[in-house]
Amino acid sequence: MFRHRALVLALMLGFTAFAFVMAGPRAGLLVMVGLGFGLVLEGLRFGFAGPWRSIVTDRDGRGMLAQLIAIALVAVVAFPMLAANPAELAPAHAPVGVAMILGAFVFGLAMQLVMGCGSGTLVNAGSGNLVGLIALAGFIGGSFAGTLHLDWWTGLGSLPVASMQSLAGPNAGLALTLAGLALVGGVTLARAAPGKRIPPARLWIAAALIAGLALANLVIAGQPWGIVYGLGLWGAKLAQAGGADLAQTAFWAAEGNATRLSASILTDVTSLTNIGLLLGAFAVMRWRASPGAPAQALTMASYAGVLVAALVLGYSARLAFGCNVGAFFSGISTGSLHGWVWLVAAFGGSMLGIRLRPMILRPLPAREAMA
């Protein structure tokens, strides 16, 4: 165990130093932030997809409330910070549109089929869940594929970008955001069964740490925490290595995206935190005295289903302008109206996904699993 833990520490410190030396201090700091996300999400079992399922199937609202608390904590600091530093900090604002709503609905559905959202997929893969690893590969492919058709989808119609700040100003916008979170919290409490309402200490601590890390991300990177762009970029780089000419595509020919495509991954903000998150989850799994039992073995058809669902997950995240992290967590906590619409659409999709889940995730019969 000591050897495992020493290796884990060496891996975390080594990669942070690598990013620092190769790409500068901001890259090193962002890897550290990502590591923090991975350590907290896996170590304190803070998640997004699981609590959305628990409130529906088990009337357990504790995880959902922890999410809302974390978002509120970020909003209280981020709103005034964004208002005071508009030239240096950017919010996660995006337009509400037909494809965005459809994308969020499908994302919510698919995340229940792959047992994780954007951050959850990285955490699951890093912590040694085979479904998570398959989902990660699919997510990378899907989020890249989504960039190829984004123009067509956004052409279906969208509203101008609207935010709580643009509708009500920074102070009233923050009040509206907190009121909205309180409303969702109230609905969650009303739905939750007695004994499953108040989050345990573990989730309070996790919510505070996640909020602190999200604010660190904003201060260091100048933009909120995100997942999807980085994974799409990895897919684009793999496609380019395979011979694809992405200069012919609208998304990757656009100035900023073309620059990132030709530059090192170590200069991309979301890639750096994604790498840290994956490493952090792996570190927690290897740090434990026992890494835990392997995830339940599934039938081959189920693994194929997970791969397809993950492709859809990544594709829909691109259309929805973010996943649970970029759209829901960062969108709402920095005032984006699209974050709220995303929440409603994705929750609807999640409810359908919960119903479809037993049809896709079929355990391998015990006799075959033992073979």
Partner 1 sequence: MSPSRPLVGTLAMALLLGILALDMARSGVPDLFDAPAAIALGSGAAPGGAHCSGS
Within positions 239 to 258, which residues make up the interface with partner 1, using CB under 8 A?
Answer: 240-241, 256-257
144 belongs to the binding site for partner 1 (CB under 8 A): no
Q: Which residues pair with 363 in a beta bridge?
A: 298
Please tell me the distance from the alpha carbon of residue 338 to that of residue 344, in angstroms, as a whole number.
10
Kindly tell me which of 195 and 290 has the beta carbon lying closer to partner 1.
Answer: 290
> Tokens standing for 326?
């970029």
Kindly tell me which of 213 and 233 has the beta carbon lying closer to partner 1.
Answer: 233
Nearest to 94 by CA among 330, 349, 346: 330
The only residue of 57, 156, 198, 264 in contact with partner 1, by rule CB under 8 A: 264
135 belongs to the binding site for partner 1 (CB under 8 A): no
The only residue of 234, 252, 287, 347 in contact with partner 1, by rule CB under 8 A: 234
Instruction: For the CB of residue 221, give the shortest distance to partner 1 in the complex, in Å.
Output: 6
The only residue of 33, 227, 246, 332 in contact with partner 1, by rule CB under 8 A: 227
Q: Classify residue 323 as left (phi > 0), alpha (psi -120 to 50) or beta.
A: beta
SS3 97: strand
Q: Outline where the chain has alpha helix (H).
A: 2-23, 25-43, 49-57, 62-84, 98-113, 118-126, 130-154, 164-168, 170-191, 201-221, 228-241, 250-253, 255-262, 269-287, 300-319, 330-333, 337-360, 366-370
Nearest to 347 by CA among 47, 42, 45, 51: 51
The only residue of 54, 67, 129, 165 in contact with partner 1, by rule CB under 8 A: 129
List the x/- string, 51-90, binding to partner 1 by CB under 8 A.
------------------------------x---x-xxxx
Nearest to 181 by CA among 67, 297, 36, 97: 67
Instruction: For the CB of residue 24, give the shortest distance to partner 1 in the complex, in Å.
Output: 3
Residue type, 233: L
Kindly tell me which of 65 and 215 has the beta carbon lying closer to partner 1.
Answer: 215
Show contacts with partner 1 in window 290-349 (CB under 8 A). 291-298, 317-318, 321-323, 325-327, 330-331, 336, 338
The only residue of 47, 50, 63, 132 in contact with partner 1, by rule CB under 8 A: 132
Instruction: For the CB of residue 161, give the shortest distance to partner 1 in the complex, in Å.
Output: 9
Instruction: For the CB of residue 198, give the shortest distance to partner 1 in the complex, in Å.
Output: 31
Kindly tell me which of 203 and 231 has the beta carbon lying closer to partner 1.
Answer: 231
Is residue 306 within 8 A of residue 134, CB to CB? The reply is yes
Site size toward partner 1, by CB under 8 A: 87
Residue type, 1: M
Which range in 168-176, 179-187, 206-214, 270-278 contacts partner 1 by CB under 8 A?
A: 270-278
Show contacts with partner 1 in window 150-179 (CB under 8 A). 150, 154
> Tokens standing for 311?
């492709």
Instruction: For the CB of residue 322, give the shortest distance to partner 1 in the complex, in Å.
Output: 4
Which range in 31-39, 67-75, 193-201, 273-281 contacts partner 1 by CB under 8 A?
A: 273-281
Q: Which residues contact 24 (CB under 8 A, 6 or more apart)?
A: none
Kindly tell me which of 143 and 188 has the beta carbon lying closer to partner 1.
Answer: 143
Instruction: For the CB of residue 110, give the shortest distance to partner 1 in the complex, in Å.
Output: 16
Q: How many other C-beta atoms lie within 10 A of the C-beta of residue 197? A: 16
Please tell me the distance from the alpha carbon of residue 177 to that of residue 186, in angstroms, as a whole number.
14
What are the CA-CA distances from residue 225 to residues 20, 112, 237, 324 (Å)?
19, 22, 22, 11
188 belongs to the binding site for partner 1 (CB under 8 A): no
List the x/- string, 15-34, binding to partner 1 by CB under 8 A.
-------xxxxxx-x-----
> Tokens standing for 319?
């259309």
